[in-house]
Chain A
């Protein structure tokens, strides 16, 4: 071939091969320029006799996300999210009626804590057998005790500790259950049965109802003390005060901004990562929203938590001054008329609805501000000025005259003047909004700025932005605002700020919860003969006014100044005051404790300065009998006399619950066991757990509502399933779910734990079984998110009156100072029980401490998390870089952190993610129980869930679980009450804001 011919051939081949290459490769090139987005389904798990899948609900924290548990050979091996549950799917779940088989190839997200649930169930420090102490309290010496013996001892009492050389006579449940008065001089305290006190730790709907039913309605004690006081009960207190309807008794206990649709959110704190709704349901929505640039997120926190990664701005506020910021914003909004005037002028439901609103406020209602008048600090009553009785009074916008609140469509917002009552008296009155305005104007913008450490123009910018998005703006706050010395007023300010723009029940605004009832329906789980209504006064002095006590009345009768009370009282609190309950038990005031039950809670670790009560719990005079229901031996249960081994959520701990607000629609997650329980059984084969304990105590005592015919006098209540299977059935019927298909029946029968399924099938009717299966095969009942809004209004938003003026609070006297509380949002300086300003009495402590939660841990109980401890083996004393330089501190240095009450030593971490002048220490670490100390347990091999840590009779400590520092140690004890300082209205324990000093060691 000559050269040209060869070249031609080469050219031909070249062109041809390029063509073939181009044809085959062009789709790849196209993908670069026109990317396609496809949802790729994963392969579903192959299920067989040894590989199973169960849908349930997580309990690694309280966010209530769904889970799908993979079980291999009876062992839970992997936990993932539930694609049916809105929490795991960024509120965009697969349709509820998707056949279960199809759901197996869909996915749902789940966080580290959820994944590590397996490490809790198989934690080598879990106990499976009931224990009794074999030494003095707190000595960490235990022995197993037979179930029947345990029940006998705690019920009958006697000299039950003679085996540890304690002679004293102990009253059991039988002796304490008397309905004679505790103290005839103080009859309001109630019956002796009230001396059984239950600290309810992590409770969720499901078990909470069961426990309360036992304690309050069957045993008859009022002292069901939830843990809200060490959580965010200022939030609930604030919301209840604002939303409470005395006629219906209805109220909202909390609401949250609609993270899915809001355009502007101010997040106080790191809640989108480490609170509720947290990482999985809400935090996971943020990146997508930030990317589409239709959400502006501002984070206000002395510390830059993880959520600031998604924020437009981080504003490093001075600790515990969020209230001042909020008041400053309120001031600007009122001053510049940026509030929703049309909304606020509506004085009644009809005019609100005419404006398309589902809520209305008391902004225009007149309040008596005349000190001499009998109704001082109350709403002006319509009959007092000769109008139709039983109504509020507003100044009519048109006429300028006072009318009844439903006699006009528009009231005057800012009124400061007089009315004349029927007797001709001149009564000074103000409209509720006027009072708020005066509070906001008590300080200039510069003064508000001075207090919170944020420049005035930033405060103004915030207020400007907040009012620029119509109703699609809102506030996210929870513990950040609530667990402060001024928690209640801070929460109130955040709620009232939102009332100014009228975002309640609007898409993108402030939304509440939605739920489906399950305590009644097919089965009435609440009714039984002999049901008691608890009476008396809570040991924590909550929800009862000091002025109603005999003590108060005696003092007044004697001409003594009744203030201060012996210990503070919290009539307006939402309740759940562990700190105050411990203080009462310590002081034996208002009455002593006889039996303490700590359920799934660790007050010694969790209550600020809780370790102060170690001696209290050790003292048999103050706590004669202490029973703990727990899975491991925590700092609190180590002081108990008996420990009931409880199941973890993978084995039971049934629940039926909606997630934290905002609930766009009705979303009810259901928890059922995924594996057979690992705890021991009673002789008749029932699993030992909280329910079995309470049931068996009841049966021995013959208490109403338990045992044979315990439910509605028709159905036996002998084990947990008797209650919860019927509860889930109620949910299924109340929610009107369809019948499960045969395939789904097989799915549940093949995969869910045999003992649970066979028992449920036994006690339900066939038509009930089909609906029951439908629900548990999907992990609950979930409406589609779209169904929650009608014309941008939340379908489940309650129509209600919102209060700027909190009459009940305004008429409440501070039980220690004798002063009235302010009746609306106000700036409340951090102070002790006697009103001494903290910044003054602790002025020689230059730093302010903040504590925080991490997204990878939950309060006190997650030292079992192997992976979390790998990531973060310990916590540190975090100090701002400029402060570190001034003090000569470097990373890793030992430093003493000292408050007026106590001190701790920790390691420094220098950071720029913290406001100067602030010290930050996280929770979760610094344990001295929960596997971090050796324990002596007779027959440890039998007692522990596995023998990984057992050496003869010792259960060896894992040093990894005891690292770090316990921030609660240095919180502030009140100089007067000798109990930790709390917010005076809610009784909420502050977890931030104590003044400290740092000393390099």
Chain B
């Protein structure tokens, strides 16, 4: 430890908490992408809209897990519901979670209702019951019904936008409102988090789309790719702008904590912060995305997206852990080494990532992410 650090200070929020905003960010980001079609009606994005929703659902169910795992007594997580406290942003996450899951499930059921109806009609026995249940008992589809569904989907997705935004921005609020965390305390935090969340959402979606198309031996839609990539690029610009704005203000205003901020972020964490978060993880992808041929190549776009995801994760890491390396005295620096094993270790964090994968697989076993065939109605 360097400088003057309070004796009870350590990095309390470790790798699990650094992982957490990554997951919620992907939820928010991929949901926003799905709304491009379902709310704003951009036809181009229709192909990935369902995939985006599936990813969103998989990640939102998994998102509380790093938090629960990080609690010394995990069952305390349910206190949020048993002893409600509306003045706690962390508790509000719990309420948003439930409402958001409900929203998304309803939206998914509506989106796939035609599919379920057909599948029910085409199946027998237990499968029929299963699909009939998912179709909410509906036996046939009509144009009227479909139109009504579309309107409902639009409505729900519209509500979903602020909920999704809030769902991720609250994390930014929690950090941004902490007076004692000199790196965290800024009103920009929720905005910055949300923007970078969307970056990670788009990026993951692009990668998922490319993989999904390749696996299903389909043709990657280059036009879609191009536009998704441009979308990604614009958000990276926004993301970088907010982050650089933050740094510009801090370095100019030179509050007394600037010295220790400088020491941590431009010296100790220079590789992670300047190197990965700003240069490799944001500037490089941006520069690459400027090139049109990059945008049309599924390989390149995937690579750029993966780099962008790494960049966003670095942002989460530097915010959560980097922010805690600055002592609350603003006069000292802490140390942190990631535990590998143990309840709060890297192994636990990585294992949590496998749950969304599992859920995506299960969901894809039930519903297709691509609907190519026209709906056939059977009386």
User: B-contacting residues of A (Cβ < 8 Å)?
Assistant: 1, 6-7, 9-11, 13-14, 17-18, 20-25, 27-29, 31-32, 35, 42-46, 50-51, 70, 72, 104
Contacts and interface: CB of A to CB of B under 8 A. Distances in A.
Interface residues of B, number: 31
B362 A27 contact: no
B74 interface: yes
B361 interface: yes
Contact of A24 (B75, B215, B348, B364): B348
B8 A43 contact: yes
B332 to A, nearest CB: 8
Contacts of B348: 24-25, 27-28
Contacts of B10: 43
A104 B8 CA distance: 11
Contact of A31 (B8, B74, B350, B365): B74
A18 to B, nearest CB: 5
Among B65, B355, B361, the most chain A Cβ lie within 10 Å of the Cβ of B361
Contacts of B357: 13, 17
B358 interface: yes
Contacts, number: 82
Given A13-B357, A46-B7, A31 B352 contact: no
Nearest to A9: B215
A900 to B, nearest CB: 50
Contact of B358 (A7, A17, A51): A17
A44 B7 contact: yes
A11 B362 CA distance: 7
A952 B358 CA distance: 76
Contact of B354 (A9, A20, A45, A104): A20
B7 A28 contact: no
A11 B361 contact: yes
A742 B73 CA distance: 42
A54 to B, nearest CB: 14
A42 B8 contact: yes
Contacts of A18: 354-355, 358
A10 B75 contact: no
A649 to B, nearest CB: 22
Contacts of A104: 7
Contact of B217 (A1, A42, A70): A1
A15 to B, nearest CB: 8
A100 to B, nearest CB: 15
B244 interface: no
Contacts of B352: 21, 24-25
Contact of A17 (B74, B342, B361, B364): B361
A563 to B, nearest CB: 66
Contacts of B342: 27
B34 to A, nearest CB: 21
A24 B354 contact: yes
Contacts of A20: 351, 354
A28 B74 CA distance: 7
A1 B361 contact: no
A447 to B, nearest CB: 49
Contact of A28 (B1, B69, B365): B69
A401 B215 CA distance: 111
30 contacts: A1-B215, A9-B215, A10-B361, A10-B365, A11-B361, A13-B357, A13-B361, A14-B358, A14-B361, A14-B362, A17-B354, A18-B354, A20-B354, A21-B351, A23-B351, A24-B348, A24-B351, A24-B352, A27-B343, A28-B69, A28-B74, A28-B343, A31-B73, A31-B74, A31-B343, A32-B73, A32-B75, A35-B73, A43-B9, A51-B4
Contacts of B362: 14
A21 B357 CA distance: 10
B355 A17 contact: yes
A42 B74 CA distance: 21
A838 B352 CA distance: 75
Contacts of A7: 365
B5 interface: yes
How would you classify the secondary structure of chain B's contact residues: helix, strand, loop or mixed?
Answer: helix
A979 B73 CA distance: 61
Nearest to A38: B72
A6 B215 contact: yes
B69 A25 contact: yes
B74 A43 contact: no
A747 to B, nearest CB: 15
A122 to B, nearest CB: 19
A50 to B, nearest CB: 8
Nearest to A104: B7
A10 B364 contact: yes
A447 B357 CA distance: 79
B216 interface: yes
Contacts of B347: 24
A323 to B, nearest CB: 44
Nearest to B69: A28
B358 A21 contact: yes
A864 to B, nearest CB: 24
Given A25-B65, A29-B74, 4 more contacts: A6-B216, A13-B357, A32-B74, A42-B8
A145 B181 CA distance: 49
B9 A25 contact: no
Contacts of A1: 215-217
Given A28-B68, A42-B8, A51-B4, A11 B365 contact: yes
A751 to B, nearest CB: 14
Nearest to B368: A3
Interface in B69-89: 69, 73-75
Contacts of B1: 46
A108 to B, nearest CB: 13
Interface in B27-83: 65, 68-69, 73-75
Contacts of A50: 4
A939 B42 CA distance: 80
Nearest to A1: B217
A24 B73 CA distance: 17
A990 B351 CA distance: 69
Contacts of A32: 73-75
A931 B342 CA distance: 55
Contacts of A70: 7
Contacts of B354: 17-18, 20-21, 24
B342 to A, nearest CB: 8
Contacts of B9: 43
A21 B354 CA distance: 5
Nearest to B75: A32
A69 to B, nearest CB: 13
Closest 7 CB pairs of A and B: A24-B351, A14-B361, A45-B7, A17-B354, A21-B354, A17-B358, A17-B357
A875 B50 CA distance: 64
A11 B357 CA distance: 11
B354 to A, nearest CB: 4
A24 B1 CA distance: 31
Most B CB atoms within 10 A — which of A6, A11, A28, A46? A28
A79 to B, nearest CB: 13
B277 to A, nearest CB: 26
Nearest to A19: B354
A9 B364 CA distance: 11
Nearest to B342: A27
A43 B1 CA distance: 11
Most buried by A among B8, B9, B215, B342: B8
Interface in B325-379: 342-343, 347-348, 350-352, 354-355, 357-358, 361-362, 364-365
A21 B351 CA distance: 4
A694 B4 CA distance: 42
A22 B348 CA distance: 10
A42 B12 CA distance: 12
B361 to A, nearest CB: 4
B366 to A, nearest CB: 10
Contacts of B365: 7, 10-11, 14
Contacts of A51: 4
Contacts of B75: 32, 35
A24 B68 CA distance: 13
